[in-house]
Structure 1
Amino acid sequence: MVYYDDPKRSIKLLKGDCIKILNQAGENSVDMIFADPPYFLSNGGITCHAGKMVSVNKGKWDKSRGVEENHKFSLEWLKACQRVLKPDGTIWVSGTTHIIYSVGFAMQELGYKILNDIIWYKRNAPPNLSCRYFTHSTEIVLWAAKNEKSKHYFNYQLMKKFNNGKQMRNVWQISTPLAEEKKFGKHPTQKPVELLTRIILASTKENDLVMDPFCGSSTTGVASILLNRKYVGIDFEEEYLHL
């Protein structure tokens, strides 16, 4: 179902099951996909956020269904994404260790060509309250082309320029979202605009179509608009689409 549509700015938000929506979308129609799927971390535990102890329960959508069912879900949505990607399109998937290895394996099973694993280092990551593990301060972002034959776009020179004239490496130091990025509301796994800006500039051109199948509060959409890209976001939760 169409939740929001702005033809003048080429923005569309769709509410519903992303797999069903993707399977109904036009084949070979999307230039780039950024996906931040459920991490399946909601287990009744606690974490630290802004100096306060808070629950890690994000909602029913983030509860684990078991290893096999979680991987089956990865295969299903990645297959649906692969169908809508243009022949030379690429996909970026963000995740923690809880799901990213399943995603990477599913990509290989489906015939994607994995281009890079980006290590996003969070300079302002919260501490580990249990004191039984190292502090979790990174997320992995996998970048992959539709298949082995894809001739993906990469703005090498711009990335080099951003890195003081040197080749950009795959470790990116970017802080988690600042308070001003959450002024209209909060999503539990919101990504910083800086991260999405770099991803979009690296792998798309102006007027390309960017899609986010788990869009949440649409940080991907904000970055797309600022960079003159078309955007389609999908989410099941109206609460976050409203943000």
Structure 2
Amino acid sequence: MKSRELDFRGIGTALKQQVRLNSEHHLVVEGDSLEVLRKIPDNSISLILTDPPYHATKKKNIYGDTQFAKDNEYLDWMAMYAVEWRRILKPNGSLFCYCDSSMSARLEVLFSEQFNILSHVVWTKPNAPGFDGWKGKMKKENLRQWYGHSERIIFAEPAQEGNLHRSPFGQYLREKRTASGLSGHQLTEMTGAYGKVNHGGAVSNWEAGRNTPSRDQYSKICTAILSTGKVDSMLPYEDIIRPFIIDGTKEFTDVWNFESVRPYKGKHPAEKPIDMLKHAIAATTYSDDIVLDCFGGSGSTAVAARLLNRKSVTIEIESDWVESIVNRLTDLEVTVGSALQDEETITDVKLRVNS
């Protein structure tokens, strides 16, 4: 989609002083992510999939994990990210934010000022014996609470001002319908979107943000509104309807079972499994969408995005990891190019660089 390409170029231009890799598919940026985020243009990112310092874990080998003396200092810091994330996300964008279980409730409340919280995902780690960390080694009799063997992922969408669902699409549809001079009942009749229980129809539900129309239904909405001659244009489906693409063959509940990344030379201490990242990206983006990770770490989010034919923006503050990410993505392009020459699909490429 041309609009994505223009957005990607605009981001590259805005961040050119700090870009360490600028290619057709990837932007790798070195710097403090909060400062970098403030330079990214409004409404230019389709998905934020990121893994900030957890604070509660206090791991010295993870940058920023020990920098806050008090919980409120950490929450104030994350609140600044939430404001920037809301600003740079497209109206139909999504957010996945990893966090520790002990901080998740407070982060949800904090994020709810800027976002509609859609799911609180529990990531379990069904690792094989010998690869399950302290779970297998620790003395269970010393526990004084349930052992934390999961992480949390807050899944959210940008919110509009108002109450309840605060849907960007709902507001957009209401504004366009009102400008066209159509009543909700008239638009319902013109689109055939009647409800099963009554004739209030789906239009009222869409405007309230309870759900969204299918591609076919949205096409009928556009035709009806544009036919009045009072509205000049309607946004393409991919620019206004938040994607959520899932079926029974994939992990569709809010409990995700993906094994942790096993130790290997050069592994990032907070590295997330490629399959889990691909799962999140595939469900919530369209092809060529732009995926942002503002705590780049190992660069795995960018790898997962590329394997699914998405563009990526990766921000990392530590120079050594920036270099590692650039090398990993450069190697990835060689592998993907070879696979395409062999008529394989990108999603079939099995790769974890440096593993």
User: TM (normalized to structure 1)?
Assistant: 0.84
Per-residue CA deviations over 1:3-28 (Å, capped at 9, x if unaligned) read: 422323x2011111111111111100
Secondary structure of the 2:277 match is helix
Q: Structure 1 residues 161 and 60 mapped into 2: Cα distance closer, same or farther (>3 Å)?
A: closer
CA distance in 2, matches of 1:209, 1:79: 19
Q: Unpaired runs of 5+ in structure 1?
A: 44-55
* Residue in 2 that maps onto 1:38: 53
Tell me which of 170, 180, 195 is aligned to 2:254: 170
Q: Does 1:5 align with 2:21?
A: yes
Measured after TM superposition, the shift of residue 42 of structure 1 is 5.4
Instruction: For residue 101 of structure 2, give the secondary structure of its aligned residue in structure 1.
Output: coil
AA in 1 matched with 2:20 = Y
Out of 290, 301, 305, the residue aligned to residue 209 of structure 1 is 290
| Corresponding residue number in structure 1 for 2:80 | 76
> Is the aligned partner of 1:16 residue 2:40?
no
Name the counterpart of 1:93: 97
Alpha-carbon distance between aligned partners in 2 of 1:201 and 1:20, rounded to the nearest angstrom: 29
Q: Which residue of 2 aligns with 1:47?
A: none
2:96 maps to a residue whose letter is W
Residue matched to 1:142: 154
Normalized against structure 2, the TM-score is what?
0.58
Unaligned runs of 5+ in 2: 1-16, 160-165, 169-240, 325-355
Match of 1:53 in 2: none
Please name the residue that 1:156 is paired with. Answer: 246
Shift of 1:61: 1.1
Q: Distance in 2 between matches of 1:100 and 1:237?
A: 26
Within the alignment, does 1:28 sit opposite 2:35 as a pair? no
2:274 aligned with 1:193: yes
**CA displacement, residues 156-212 of structure 1 (integer Å, 9 cap, x when unaligned):** 33xx2335xxxx211111100134xx55x2211111101101000010011000000
Matched, 1:122 2:125: yes
CA contact (8 A) 2:292 2:313 kept: yes
C-alpha deviation, 1:99, in angstroms: 2.9
CA change 1:204–1:69 in 2 (3 A) is: same
Partner of 2:4: none
Measure, in 2, the Cα distance between the counterparts of 1:199 and 1:229.
Answer: 12
Distance 1:75 1:146 in 2: 14
Structure 1 counterpart of 2:238:
none
Q: Is the 8 A contact 1:74 1:102 kept in 2?
A: no
Judge conservation of contact 1:42–1:58 (CA < 8 Å) in 2.
Answer: no
Given that residues 40 and 98 in structure 1 are in contact (C-alpha distance below 8 angstroms), is that contact kept between their aligned partners in structure 2? no
Q: Is the 8 A contact 2:123 2:257 kept in 1?
A: yes
Contact 2:46 2:94 in 1 (8 A): yes
Identity of aligned residues (%): 25
| SS of equivalent to 2:64 | helix
Please identify which structure carries the higher strand content. 1
Root-mean-square deviation (CA), in Å?
1.8
Higher relative contact order (CA 8 A, sep 6+): 1
Does the 8 Å CA contact 2:62/2:270 hold for their aligned counterparts? Answer: no
Give the direction of change, closer, same or farther, for the CA distance of 1:42–1:120 in structure 2 (3 Å limit): closer
Aligned to 1:49: none
Matched pairs, number: 220
Q: Is the 8 A contact 1:175 1:192 kept in 2?
A: yes
- The letter of the residue matching 2:158 is K
In structure 2, the partner of 1:50 is none
Of the two, which has the highest radius of gyration? 2
- The 2-side partners of 1:114 and 1:41 are apart by 22
Which secondary structure state, in structure 1, belongs to the residue aligned with residue 303 of structure 2? helix
